[in-house]
Chains A and B, each alone.
Chain A
């Protein structure tokens, strides 16, 4: 699973969605892999405005990455190829192969197996 995906995920439990603690989900025991992908500067430039920067900071920190920019890049910063390349690497090339995503509200753990996160709920949580 690409790291960017977690920016668009929350707990599958209905009652959790209203709680700020359910976003972002938290990585546990994550096993990472770098999978190369063609660098498309326009793609990164276009999606950055839709990224929740605070959530990305939390996730990058939990995964042990060096600190990312304090503020979401905008304007001329989005023309800086170095910034775009770093974001490309972090968002699209960084994969979580194994591990868990846990909800900060209900504590439920979602397993990531061979790169695919599974959000099916046990019947008592539906």
Chain B
């Protein structure tokens, strides 16, 4: 649990799991429901590594975009078919406009997809929202489960994971190695406030993030039973391509 959480030292009657779920519900899911359209207007382009990964896919490949947000990765390749999913119904509705793909509401830890089927998956800026190491590893395991395993004739399905880096001292946030990894990040909604909001007061929402340090994403993938094929750093983020 994040050290910034007030509930981390509380002993309660509920088991650990619902408590973590409730934490993410409040500090991740509800926030995205609230900020969906504003968030969407600021996220309009896929990052270079994501673009390359999607562009190089074989036409006709079937894949997943887990935690698709507003669907900004969906326009990159229209020769593949993507079943995109998000926890936020508001974001899923925005993402649903991208043809020829399809969008559903689902939880990364309980994906409604068959085992061992998909040619590829992406999960961009998602697993850093899960609030314990165990849940982040479970999320990776759940995506790997859905990927096609390698056979003698063909390589297996591949997933591209992308997470926010702790090492980003040149960014606006300025975090760096040695800083606290579990943080609450404000989202300031300045334009287009809801009609009933007080005028001129920017609304501030806080989202929970786990900032990944160097090699941590690769470690989590290995713990989830995956094999890292390639990894790197791109503009304040760590990324890795993995297979089963």
Is A49 on the interface with B (CB-CB < 8 A)? yes
Q: List chain B residues, Cβ under 8 A from A10.
A: 112-114
B79 contacts partner chain A, Cβ-Cβ < 8 Å: yes
- Expressed in whole angstroms, the minimum distance between the Cβ of B67 and any Cβ of chain A is 13
Instruction: Give the distance in Å from the alpha carbon of A123 to the alpha carbon of B92 in the complex.
Output: 21
Q: Which of A2, A13, A42, A47 contacts B62 (CB 8 A)?
A: A47
Judge whether A27 is part of the interface by a CB distance below 8 angstroms.
Answer: no
Q: Which of B88-112 contact A (CB under 8 A)?
A: 89, 92-93, 96, 99-100, 102-107, 109-112
- B87 interface hit (Cβ, 8 Å): yes
The bracket for how many chain B residues form the interface is 20 to 34
Q: A12-B111, A37-B99, A49-B60 are in contact. Are A5 and B83 (CB under 8 A)?
A: yes
Q: B89 to A46, Cβ gap below 8 A?
A: no
Residues of B within 8 A of A121 (CB): 107, 110
Shortest A74–chain B CB gap in Å is 13
Indicate with 1 or 0, residue by residue over B19-39, a CB within 8 angstroms of chain A CB atoms.
001000000000000000000
Chain A residues contacting B79 (CB-CB under 8 Å) are: 42-43, 46
Name the one of B62, B96, B105, B110 contacting A8, with C-beta atoms under 8 angstroms: B62
With a CB–CB cut-off of 8 A, which chain A residues contact B92? Answer: 116
Chain A residues with Cβ under 8 A from B111's Cβ? Answer: 12, 119
* A side interface size, CB within 8 A: 34
Q: Which residues of A contact B109 (CB under 8 A)?
A: 126
Whether B21 contacts A8 by the Cβ 8 Å rule is no
Q: Which residues of A contact B93 (CB under 8 A)?
A: 114, 116
**Contact assessment for B103 and A116 in the assembled complex, using a CB-CB cutoff below 8 Å:** yes
Q: Cβ of B18 < 8 Å from any Cβ of A?
A: yes
Query: In the complex the two chains form, is A23's CB within 8 Å of B96's CB?
Result: no
Which A residues are CB-close (under 8 A) to B85? 119
Q: Which residues of chain A have C-beta atoms less than 8 A from B17's C-beta? A: 126
Which residues of B, 217-232, contact A by the 8 Å Cβ criterion?
none
Contact indicator B107/A119 (Cβ below 8 Å):
yes
**Is the Cβ of B115 less than 8 Å from the Cβ of A123?**
no
Give Cα A25 to B168, complex, Å. Answer: 45
Measured CB to CB, the residues of B under 8 A from A are 17-18, 21, 59-60, 62, 78-79, 81, 83, 85, 87, 89, 92-93, 96, 99-100, 102-107, 109-115, 117-119
Binding site for B on A (CB under 8 A): 1-2, 4-5, 8-14, 17, 23, 37, 40, 42-43, 45-47, 49-50, 92, 110, 114-121, 123, 126
29 pairs across A/B with beta carbons < 8 Å? Answer: A1-B102, A2-B102, A4-B102, A8-B114, A8-B118, A9-B113, A11-B112, A12-B111, A14-B110, A17-B114, A40-B100, A42-B79, A46-B60, A50-B62, A110-B112, A114-B93, A116-B96, A116-B105, A117-B104, A118-B104, A119-B85, A119-B104, A119-B105, A119-B111, A120-B87, A121-B110, A123-B21, A126-B17, A126-B110
